[in-house]
Every structure is written in C-alpha cells, then in structure tokens.
Chain A
Amino acid sequence: MRGVWVHGVGAVTPLGGSWAETSSALAAGACAVGPVRGFDASGFPSRHAAVVAQDFPGEDRRAALALRAAREAFAAAGLHRTDPRRIGVFVGAESGRPPFATFAALARAAGPGPGLDHARFCAEAASRARDLDSRVHSPAAVAARLAAEVGAKGPVATLSLACASGAAAIAEAARAVSLCECEVALAGGVGADVDALMLAGFGLLGALSESGVSRPFDRRRDGFVLGEGAAMVVLGSERGFARVAGIGRTLDAASLTAPGGNGGLRAMRLALAAAGLRSVDVVQAHGTSTPLNDAAEAQALREVLGGGSLVSSIKGALGHAIAAAGALGFLAAVEAIRSGLVFPTAGLQEPDDDGGALPHVLQRAITRRVDSALVNAFAFGGANCSLVVTRE
C-alpha cells in the first residue's frame, strides 16, 4: 500500500468562511457559541448553538456548506489535471431535512387527533413536494453534488456514522488512495443540524448543555452545544504537507448514548500501531463537553499516551458539528503539523483532573513543532474512528 498525503484543506465554520479564517479565529481563542436566533427556541431544553452566519437561499444547507469547503480544498491542492476517473469523493453526512416550517405544516395536517390523518398529511406533502425532495435531502446528495463540482468520476461514497462520519470518510478515502482505487480523493464531513428538530431531540436526551457553554474537559461541563459546518481535505499519493499515517476504527458495542467498553481506547491504539508510533505530540480530542464522553476519553488518553501529549478540542469554540466534527478535528491536527499551531480548548478553565492531569491547551494557542497528531471521533451508537497524522 502506498502513502496518503494531505494536499489541501477547506472549511466553512461558525468562525469563518474558510479554513484560514477559522484557523485564525481558533488561534485567537474565539468562540462562536451564542443564543439560537434562527427560530424561537425559548421552550427548548438548550437554547444555544454555534451557527454559520450565512444563509444559502434555494440551496440545501449541507450541500452549500460542503461545496464551499470543497472548493477551497481543491483550489489549495492544485490537482486539477488529475484524470476525473481517478478522483474519488468520500463524504460523511447524515440525512438533511426540509425547512422546519414544512415540518410544522405537515404536523398540523396530520393531526391532532387519535391517529395520523394520512389523507391530509399526504395532501400537504404533495403541495410541498419541492421542499420534501428526497434527492436533495438524501445523505448521498452531498457527495453527488461535490463529485459534479470537481468533475470526479471515481469512487463516491457517503459515510453515515453520526459524530464519526467525517473522520470515517477521511479514513475511507485514505484507504481508497492507498489501494490505488483513486489517485486523488476529496473527503470530509458536513453537518447542518442547528434546527428545531435536532435541538429539541438532542435536548430531550439530556445531551445538550443547559448552561449554553461548551467546556470540553472542564469540571463544570454539562453537555455539548450543537454546531454546524463543513470540513474537506484533498488526499493524494504524492507527497503533501501531512500524511495520514494510521487509522483505527472500532465499535463500543455497549450503549446507544454513552461511551462504554474500551472502543475509543482500542481505536486510538489501532491508529497508533498502524502509524508505528507509541505516542504523538498533539491530540485533537473528540472532547464534546458531555460529562460521560470527556471522562471516558480523558481516561483512555491517560492509558494510551500516558498524559504526555498536548490535548485540544475545538468543540469549545465551534460546538459539535456532528457529521462534520471528525473532519474539523482532522483539519486542526493537520494545521498543527503544517504551521505548529495548536489551538486552545475554548471554554476550558477548570480542567477535570480526576484520574490525573492532562496537558490541555488553555486560553492561548501554543506554537511549536508538531510531528504527529491523533484525531478522535466517537459517535452516538458506539462507532469510533481515530486517525494519526504525521509530518513524514
């Protein structure tokens, strides 16, 4: 198998319309979390989120975000002469949704009553056919749109692994490049879940922060804050500025909602072993700010790395972008390799040191030479993906 290198990156996040803007803001310690303003969330369990300020009228929000990130990554990579049949596209995405007004109208048509009024529901659905077009809201629609944008005619796949989707898509792309299934792969993730349905749904689970603050690994953490955005990378077999050196994928097989077993720990160990490393300089942690995830991840990091690696989580600043989260973390790790910039964990002021202190990056970015980084993405349902990125 051949080496897989990063040639370009791109992102649209609540902190910027490009990775360069986002990176600068993250380095400055900025935080995008704020009150939800797009709809009336006053009755919701959590009323804060990190939102991309831009609207995309007439476009599926996921596709719009991913497209802009992909354009940036592809332009940065400068690989336009690649045979289209040798370009693959791998996207981590979940289902999109119609506008909430459409949901509300359908719900009104369906009831209230002792049961669902199918006739009225279907009549309302028919009148809103354009908003309900499954081809637009399909998870696969994003990858298809990106393939059309860059003219890719190689393998196209959509990974739907919840919070691990973006990282898993990069892993799948790296596999395809290493096995010569394609020369160049556009890969990453997109999440656009700051809507009433998901805010209420995750809130009901008790997963969201009632305080409205994302504080990964902090003693006061009380849940995650929803975010959104897209992060894309261009991978290829020729030497680039960072190498995908190791991949580890496991299942917890324990719980739908809580980390359990040792799945995360095993994923990290597998990725490190594949890279031929025992430790790394930096960890871009999953770090969601939920009590259970952060405690389990911190303990796994202590066991695997012994507390010697800098630990950072960008979810303090960007919230949890679900299917994009792992790809955003990957970009942060690549940035550490490329520029030596290790982002601080926004919101982290009182590290939860139960079990032993970890070298968190607090308040200010650290600049130093980084030769290796580990990225974690752990999903609801127990799917884990860890990636190791190296300079050589």
Chain B
Amino acid sequence: MPITVNGMSIPLLADPRVSLLDLLREELHLSGTKKGCNQGACGACTVLVDGERIVSCLALAVQYDGRAVTTIEGLAQDDRLHPLQAAFIEHDGFQCGYCTPGQICSAVAMADEIARGVPSHVTADLDRSAMTHTRDEVRERMSGNLCRCGAHNGIVDAILEVYGTSNAKLLEAAE
C-alpha cells in the first residue's frame, strides 16, 4: 500500500532508512515541514498521520505504509489560510518562522485531542472527560514544540483565539 500525503498517493522508497521527514522534504519537495534537531526533541517536523500528531524525524517512512499524512501544505485550502495560520499572523506567533509549520500542525491535532477528552499532565481531574482550552493546558500540550525566537505567548494567544471557548476564557479570568 502507498502512503497518502495531502491526498496524493506516494509509492514507498526501497531504502527503509528514509525517515518520513526526509521523504517529505527530499523526495516530495514539500519543504514546509522543517528539520530542526532530527532527534525528536524540538517538534519542528510535526505532521499529522490519520489526524494524530507525530514527529516525522523519528518515523521510518516504511512504517507509515497505508497511512494518510497531512503536512502544513495540506492545511490551507487553495489561497485560503487555515484559521490557525491567520491567527498566528494576527498574534505574532512567530519571528523567524522555522518552527511555525510544526506548531500549527501540532495545535490542530491538540484541539482534536482536547475534543476527544485526552487528558494532559496539568489536567487536575482525570475523571472529567470534558477538557477545556485554558492557557496552562495549551502551554503543557504544546511543550513538544520549541520556539527559539520565544514567540510562545503569541502562539498560545493564536491557539486560544481559534479553539478557546467562552468557558476557557472565563476560567482564565478566574485564574
């Protein structure tokens, strides 16, 4: 079975050493996904596989046979930015922009994790299935994406604008 990347069917390479990241960048020339540390520590290479976020540098492409990969190039629809892309611009969620594709892919999947009730390290009550986008939750859940420019406050603001509920805003006001 081939890998599907942004809806396109891609045959696998013969060499099993090729990471999913290198397949995207070097073979498919989808250079939006970035290579930062290449050891799973920075999150710049974050992509979605069947809607879940992973670091593509630690993924051997051959393991993702038959799976559907979405990169930053797959989020915008033609010339229309994904709402999160627009919010990152609005809130100065970047300076150099190198970590941004990973941040945005990561945040898209993070919102889905919250919607599915996946808890985090800072979730106080594990018995509650309804999760909220508080600033602390977003910061913890995005800790796998580093920004060396230090745009984290703008990044969290952008995410809260798109995914934050009025409930979350009330909780923040109470903090």
Tell whether A and B belong to one assembly.
Answer: no
